[in-house]
């Protein structure tokens, strides 16, 4: 259920949770119980970071704080990086 903003004349604005079909134009203030009118504002959109921005941040972090590995990955010794039998037919250097 979305939140709707109401403004009390003495306490200020507050948010209430109503179903979209049941949202009233006035609501009781939770602090002083005065009738408060609904206030209309812009949509509460959240701007998320783009994939490029996240990649740049990760790259900067690894440049200054590289991950330290204590041991090689466990499957390195078996030379089997894939289980697909068609990969055995690929040319090797
Ligand atoms: Zn109030």
Ligand 1 centre distance from Cα of residue 13 (Å): 8
Closest CA to 10 of 66, 61, 30, 58: 30
Residue 66 counted as domain residue: no
Can you give the residue range of the structural domain that contains 20? 3-38
The domain tally of the chain equals: 1
Residue 34 counted as domain residue: yes
Given the structure tokens 């466990």, which residue do they identify? Answer: 74
Q: What is the pLDDT of residues 51-82, one digit of tens each?
A: 888 888 888 888 877 777 787 766 655 566 77
Q: What is the pLDDT of residues 11-31, one digit of tens each?
A: 999 999 888 899 999 999 999
Residue 21 counted as domain residue: yes
Ligand 1 centre distance from Cα of residue 14 (Å): 9
DSSP 8-state secondary structure symbol assigned to residue 49 = P
Residue 15 counted as domain residue: yes
Q: What is the pLDDT of residues 33-49, one digit of tens each?
A: 999 999 987 766 667 78
Ligand 1 centre distance from Cα of residue 5 (Å): 13
Ligand 1 centre distance from Cα of residue 37 (Å): 11
Ligand 1 centre distance from Cα of residue 54 (Å): 42
């Amino acid at each position: 259920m979305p939140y709707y903003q109401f403004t009390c004349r003495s306490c200020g604005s507050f948010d209430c949770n109503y179903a979209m079909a049941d949202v009233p134009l006035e609501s009781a203030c939770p602090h002083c119980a005065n009738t408060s009118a609904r206030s209309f504002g812009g949509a509460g959109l959240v701007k998320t970071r783009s994939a490029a921005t996240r990649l740049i941040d990760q790259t900067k972090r690894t440049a200054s704080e590289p991950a330290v590995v204590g041991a090689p990955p466990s499957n390195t010794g078996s030379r089997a990086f894939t289980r697909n039998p068609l990969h055995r037919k690929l040319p090797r250097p």
